[in-house]
Amino acid sequence: HSGSRGSGLQLQFWRVQWLPTMADKLQVLVPIADASEEIETACITDTLTRAGAAVTVASVKENGELQVTMSRGLRILADCGIDECTSKSWDAIVLPGGMPGAERLRDNETLARMLKEQSAQQKVTAAVCASPAVVFSAHGLLPAAATCYPNPKFKELMPGWSEEKTIMDGHIITGQGPGTSLQFALKIVEKLYGKPKAEEIAAAMLTTTA
């Protein structure tokens, strides 16, 4: 009896050892503001969670308020305020678009500092829709090739603008808008987890990678 009990304990021990914890997962930060775009935010958080990442949604509202009203009125409760995220290391920081949400992301000093540090470390720094033009251009984060929502006022801020749905240029990933945000999120999955994982998740969601 003692032998079987011992092996049972050993099996339990290995199960505990190999269960993935939050600390084992890649850490992804998704900052949001009032009037951030909700489709893009949902696509980013959902797709990266499916890939196995631990996703934290952070509000940039000045008073630390967690309830954020998105661009079309959907209310989202963030996990924390942006100031609580500064001491942590992030595998990716990913910005949704939406206006004037993108301007509020741009103007948050904590987030601006975090984005510059993230990019300087060659870690995934990503933005979709208005945010590549509004946030990345303002903080000197645009790579040679990038895309954004194809509005002329945004395109003129993007010297390397391309009409592709989503572009990965080194560690910087950009995307065009709500209708391409699954492809944008899958490009981030590809960068963090590899192309086969991105294709597997795309197939499960009945869509394609770009």
Q: Report the DSSP pairing between strands 75-77 and 172-175.
A: unpaired
Residue pair 60/14 in contact by the 8 Å Cβ criterion: no
Question: Phi and psi of 155, rounded to 5°?
Answer: -60, -35
Kindly name the residue from 43, 80, 85, 129 that is annotated as catalytic. 129
- Across 49-178, where does the E strand assignment appear? 54-59, 67-69, 75-77, 80-81, 92-95, 124-128, 166-169, 172-175
Q: Both ends of the chain: CA-CA distance in Å?
A: 57
- Any catalytic annotation for residue 85? no
Which residues are within 8 A (CB) of 186 and not within 5 positions of it... i.e. 6 or more apart?
Answer: 47, 198, 201, 202, 207, 209, 210
Other beta carbons less than 10 A from residue 208's beta carbon: 11
Report CA dihedral (146, 123, 113, 105) to the nearest 10 degrees.
Answer: 50
Catalytically annotated residues: 129
